[in-house]
Chain A
Amino acid sequence: MPEIKVTPLGAGQDVGRSCILVSIGGKNIMLDCGMHMGFNDDRRFPDFSYITQQGRLTEFLDCVIISHFHLDHCGALPYMSEMVGYDGPIYMTHPTKAICPILLEDFRKITVDKKGETNFFTSQMIKDCMKKVVPLNLHQTVQVDDELEIKAYYAGHVLGAAMVQIKVGSESVVYTGDYNMTPDRHLGAAWIDKCRPDILISESTYATTIRDSKRCRERDFLKKVHETVERGGKVLIPVFALGRAQELCILLETFWERMNMKAPIYFSTGLTEKANHYYKLFITWTNQKIRKTFVQRNMFEFKHIKAFDRSYADNPGPMVVFATPGMLHAGQSLQIFKKWAGNEKNMIIMPGYCVQGTIGHKILNGQKKLEMENRQTLEVKLQVEYMSFSAHADAKGIMQLIRMAEPRNMLLVHGEAKKMEFLKDKIEQEFTINCFMPANGETTTVITNPSVPVDISLNLLKREMALGGPLPDPKKPRTMHGTLIMKDNSLRLVSPEQALKELGLNEHQLRFTCRVQLQDPHSDPDTLSRIYTHLKSVLKGYTIQHLPDGTVMVESIVIKVSSSAEEPNTKVLLLSWSYQDEDLGSFLSTLLKKGLPSGLSSI
């Protein structure tokens, strides 16, 4: 039986370093190639030795697909392609292709320049790697080779995030990457058609969460910022450069516009500037509002948001500043925080999760005195707010996607095992489909039942139509006669004559003959005519002929009567039919074996 194998190298019952191998219809595909934020050693990257111990990966993989530009989905890409070795095609969407190298370069700088690591990929490697990338458009079917085709769907989450459908013949797998089922201020909701894949590989970060309406959180956020600014306070929002930052920018920008506010908003520069540029370019990947209004004004051309300069932090009066990094552990956001922490009029809003040990984590837990370097202490008087804007689908969203795609099997990745367990039960219960949650390195095998397409000759179809009967109904199977020719990797159903012709064979007639003994006192011709009348009464709608040469023909079946001289009452009926009339022939033989009914006139 054909089967599809899925093996996660990363993100199996885990979050981070997404990397999933899929074997489908003889093709091997790698989905995502990410790194793990939590490790600094070899565990940082997926274990590519699973694929091959030595040598390059090119001959083992048909293609690599990257779902979006987050480092846990694409961070290991230059390592894999340049250091391990892979020369095949890498597929990603246009925005991903544009933004991905910026992030990789940034990542490289931090690891090599700041932490001083050696044996890491270089800028040139990133460039070489990006040369292997083939860009994808939404809903565009791309033929990787003759059999393998891939198609991208919109996934929300971040700019350019895509879900991918991988199809070989009639077998298919859909990989969601990270996705979001509720639209936000700059991106729309994920969407997929009823493609009924054999396996749907879905992320499950929020498998056990059902989230509140986004509006409440947005309103809260805006209200807090508004109040602080009205008081004359300053607001610091530490962000990661991409994704949520743009959403918050749009949110504040529209709010400022609506409310006619004058206080300045600053965005600390860096790689953000470049990224914002791409957001401006890829307007088609954003949500309805931005797409519709960009003719008048591109929403990413911020009117109120300006670039930040270090000196602005000491300016008097209210202001809002977005600064990197998001966890307050270093850089500009920390510097600004130190300046503003002493004033209770000011506020800091943490829009995301903070790792333990960072200042962000400490102040979120209500610590009022912070020990800084040089034994200084910093008193935290400003207000600390937490406002989470996550762009992953929650449990309901995942269920909604399953309902949209109607897969035959589910496979969960990119989540914690305990949470997956819960969702797995739910999915099996609600949809009655199989759900898998393999760990890293564990292979899941799904047996598929692909339908095999066969070309049918038009003549044969027309002939079948001419035979009459009800109109073809796609829901009911129907039997027909024909010859199946398997030749040159293709299957064709043709009429027997044509098959013979094509194969250059002579047609052999196959006839069945059968003797039936019958007790009948009449003479041979009389018996024959009695049989004729009997058949005539039984088989209505068939052509039955009594031929002068002493035979009865039913369609193409010949019936003869003979008797031996010794036993004139024992008649031997000779039936002969061709292979094609097998049904009728066997029916006749059984019918005649029962004997003729008495009282038949011999005319």
Chain B
Amino acid sequence: MAAHLKKRVYEEFSKVVQLPQEEAPAKKLRLTKPSKSAALHIDLCKASNPTDALQYLLHFARSSVEAESVEGVVRILLEHYYKEQDNSVRLKIASLIGLLSKTQNFNPESILDDTLNTFNTEKSHQVLAQLLDTLLVIGTHLPESLIVRHRLIEVAYKHLSDTYFGVRNKCLQLLGCLGNVDTPLNKDGQGLVPAVIGGSAPGVSGGVCVRDAQSLISDYFADQDPRVRTAAIKAMLQLHERGLKIQQTIYDQACQLLCDDYEQVRSAAVQMVWVLSQLYPESIVPIPSSNEQVRLVDDSFGKISHMVSDGSWVVRVQAAKTLGNMLQVSPHFLEQTLDKKLMSDLRRKRTAHERAKELYTSGEFSSGRKWADDAPKEKVDTSAVNLIASGACGAFVHGLEDEMYEVRIAAVDALSALAQSSASFAEKCLDFLVDMFNDEIEEVRLQSIHVLRQISTNITLREDQLDTVLAVLEDSSRDIREALHELLCFTNVSTKECIQLALLELLKNLTKYPTDRNSVWKCLKFLGCRHPTLVLPLVPELLSTHPYFHTPEPDMDDPAYIAVLVLVFNAAQSCPTMTALFSDHTFRHYTYLRDSLSHLVPPLRLPGRTQAPGVSGIEGSGSVESAQLFLQQSLSRISTIHNLQDPGAQDLLNFTIRDLQRLGELQTELAGAADFSATYLRCQLLLTKALQEKLWTMAVPLCLKHNAMATAAAKQMLEETYKLEFLYSGLENRQVATIHHVRLQAKALQLVLTARTRRGVEPLISVCEKFLQEVESFQRLFVVELPHLQESFVGKLLDLSPKLSACKPGELVKILQTTLRQSGFLNLQLPKQVQRASATIIEPTGESDNPLRFTSGLVVALDIDATLEHVQDPHNTVKVQVLYPDGQSHVIQPKPGDFRSPGPHRHRLITQVYLSHSAWTEACQIEVRLLLAYSSSRLCKAVWSDSSTEGLQPAEGATEGTISFGKPVKVFIMPKPARR
């Protein structure tokens, strides 16, 4: 065999190998490409000792090999393999073969036979294990080939009885990745009949008993080596992942493995039991030592719950996580997980939770003043106390008290998953979650607050629970406070005292941490909206009105007073009687706040007041549906325009853009769609204006002004298209095509303008080529959309395309000019949901007149706090730009950790930017803005602005590949000269 191999190797590579030795003819030089393998061969031959060979191989492993030469390289390696005495070199070769067979576009089937042959001679266990690993790689690359799979499984089976654990591990892995449950594979009984290698039909050989991969693997559940046991379970899980159905018969075995001595086995067994419980949730299993039977999912739930008090924290984490995924468990079992019978000195004792509840229901406030207040009362029947929690008892009680915070977090997560699926469980776990607010690790506290928010739709907080929750408002961590505000937004409370309590605590929070202003106001807005009837009785007290006396008018700038007003106004929205309780200044304050904080104060129906036209406008237009209808109508009206040169088209566009803009302001739900369409239409309008017929006929020197106008228009169009494409989410392919189409139009316009202003053909040629490439790539990208673009600019251009590529730049420009003007208006189809990415910088406010002083040359940190909405993947796209008065600008990429996600589609950026500058004579403003970066991989903007006129240089503030979004904020800074 080896001789045969050698021959084949030399057949293919003899030329290559000899190349350096004899002067090869020039035309054969092309063959030097696979010289890498040749070099390897030479190196390996040169290597005098195993260490050298190993070095060469290690060196070789770092270089990449083309798909065509892989086979040759493998043969050289194998040739050396047979010669090599040293285990480590053989091991490296085996691993290299595995690496090589991963090469793209290479079919590893060709080297399979050779690799399998090595098994016949190999004695070293480590090398065997590595070879099996190589087979695994080959097998996973050839998942379709049944024959290959059978052969590999045969090999795996043969080596399953190896004495080295590594080999057994790999065999099991192989079986897991490739084994089949349905088609049995051969088992040779007592070594009488050799396994049929390469036989395409299994089961041919007589006298073999037929077994499938599953039972084979499950035999190794009882292996003596824990690593092999783990591998066996993992292989079984692999089978499951590949979609093969695992039999229920191994359930008992898996349960036994839960009490294994080794943690990795237990951890894997937990997964195994879970998988089985998901496969056969409803089948019935008997309870040992009794006649009763339970559902399998309940049984396994109990067993996994038991693992929450395991000795190893890895297993505990695994078990706690797994519990969260067992949603089919019966409520009876589920509720046991929170149950822990307390006793003291053999007397039944109530838990603090129960006591709190009782106190609450009896209407008493907790005195807590007496010693032994919690003294145990009734005697416990000693025989009935079960100290070893059988089944699920108290699993979460343990999990939440665990020493390792990883376990606690896993338990909190599991609680959340289970509570979301069961309302009654949510009610029960409330106390425990609230307790977690007091955890020592902030991460755990935060997580439990988030979880409580997620399940808060199912629950109503009692007063004592609310009290505990509100205590956390004083936490010094901003994240915690904000998470809590978010939670309060979604919380239902039961009494008016609760509202009062919440308001009181929030105001306390406000005085302690004034930066929380916005968050607190927003929280109160939702609190008011949700509980109008509970707020109503509190109104006189809150506004401190008196039936007879006038009370002093509160200070309008007091954040606390604004907070109270926000609560009251939002409650008044759905409680019309409330307005009767307002005093005069309240109404005045209302109008002021409605104007200044319109997002927090809803429109109210005020009796006897003239209403602002804007307000009535909204109430007139009413629902979203009518606005939607209006949007549709406007767009369809536009679609009547066939050609942009039509008279009146411009006016229509102008009006529609105005309408859409207004609509966007009024109806926030449709703002995205309206803005999107308006921007699109504006692009069209710009194009129309630029193509004004009269001007184009004039001689070039006469219309410099027009040229400048058109150039600016083209540039603006380009910018708008980038905004259209990247600022809006929810776009479909159709819209993207439309946007790209506009961009092409803009570029064509630029090209035409360049041709008009520039003398000479030279620069034009490259620009034209570029443009044609763009058209081509457009065609490639949007093949599906092309039918819709028949009548448009591109449609017409593509009709002419064979001619285009051939013609001269001058002709091309002419064609473009006419096509641009003749092409029809492309209608915009709105997708279902368009959202505009937006950003608001909350901090710095830009209102401060006190400059930020620092010594020049040193840095000062500026805190930035901004909310981002509908931004996808903000970690990579959002950047902060700082613009100094001298035109310098810096772009800062915030750390990923600076982004938090308080809600869906919402992100919060809290970061610090470092400013520095040389000394100034007086304080000046710098501008801070947020940029949205987009990948400009397929954009050629840079090339365009380089080759075209100077007027096309990016304007001040615009950064390559970024869109500025959100309002910029000005900050006063004052770098002072350093004192000597």
Contacts and interface: CB of A to CB of B under 8 A. Distances in A.
B242 to A, nearest CB: 29
A259 B474 contact: yes
A254 B224 CA distance: 48
A287 B403 contact: yes
Interface in A356-371: 364-366
Nearest to A256: B476
Contact of B371 (A384, A396, A471): A384
Contacts of B405: 288-289
B529 to A, nearest CB: 29
A189 B382 CA distance: 27
A193 interface: yes
B341 A185 contact: no
Nearest to B353: A216
Interface string A187-206: 01101111000000000000
Contact of B404 (A208, A288, A365, A403): A288
B147 interface: no
B471 A216 contact: no
Nearest to A214: B401
B311 A211 contact: no
B340 interface: yes
Interface residues of B, number: 49
B370 to A, nearest CB: 7
A182 B408 CA distance: 13
Interface string B432-458: 100110111100000000000000000
A223 B261 CA distance: 43
Contacts of A189: 403
Contact of A258 (B402, B432, B476): B476
B372 interface: yes
A261 to B, nearest CB: 8
Nearest to B394: A396
A183 B402 contact: yes
Given A188-B403, A399-B387, A211 B371 contact: no
A337 B545 CA distance: 45
A419 B344 CA distance: 11
Contact of B476 (A215, A222, A259, A399): A259
A217 interface: yes
Interface in B830-876: none
Contact of B352 (A194, A216, A224, A257): A216
Interface string B334-374: 00000011111110010111000000000000001111110
B516 to A, nearest CB: 13
B435 A260 contact: no
A425 interface: yes
B385 interface: yes
Given A182-B401, A289-B440, A471-B163, A383 B369 contact: yes
A223 B471 contact: yes
Interface string B305-349: 000010100000000000000000000000000001111111001
Nearest to A183: B403
A507 interface: no
Nearest to A219: B438
A208 B401 contact: no
B196 interface: no
B344 to A, nearest CB: 5
A433 interface: no
A14 B182 CA distance: 65
Given A188-B403, A213-B401, A365 B371 contact: yes
A165 B693 CA distance: 99
Contacts of B382: 422, 425
Interface string B689-718: 000000000000000000000000000000
Contacts of A219: 435, 438, 468
Contacts of B344: 208-211
B562 to A, nearest CB: 23
A391 B342 CA distance: 17
A211 B512 CA distance: 37
A426 interface: yes
Given A194-B261, A214-B401, A422-B382, A289 B441 contact: yes
B192 to A, nearest CB: 14
Contacts of A396: 387, 389
B477 interface: yes
B440 A185 contact: yes
A84 interface: no
A430 to B, nearest CB: 5
Contacts of B371: 350, 364-366, 384, 386
A224 B435 contact: no
A220 interface: yes
Contacts of A549: none
A472 to B, nearest CB: 8
A114 B957 CA distance: 82
B747 to A, nearest CB: 55
Contacts of A260: 474, 476, 512
A399 B388 contact: yes
B472 to A, nearest CB: 9
28 contacts: A183-B401, A210-B340, A210-B342, A211-B342, A211-B344, A212-B340, A213-B352, A213-B400, A215-B401, A216-B435, A219-B435, A219-B438, A224-B368, A258-B475, A259-B474, A259-B475, A259-B476, A260-B476, A288-B405, A289-B405, A364-B371, A386-B371, A386-B373, A396-B389, A400-B309, A419-B345, A419-B346, A422-B382
Interface of A: 182-183, 185, 188-189, 191-194, 208-220, 222-224, 226, 254, 257-260, 287-289, 350, 364-366, 383-386, 395-396, 399-400, 403-404, 419, 422-423, 425-426, 430, 471, 473-474
Given A212-B342, A213-B400, A258-B477, 17 more contacts: A208-B343, A213-B435, A215-B400, A215-B435, A219-B435, A219-B438, A254-B440, A257-B476, A259-B475, A260-B474, A289-B440, A366-B371, A384-B371, A386-B373, A395-B387, A430-B387, A474-B224
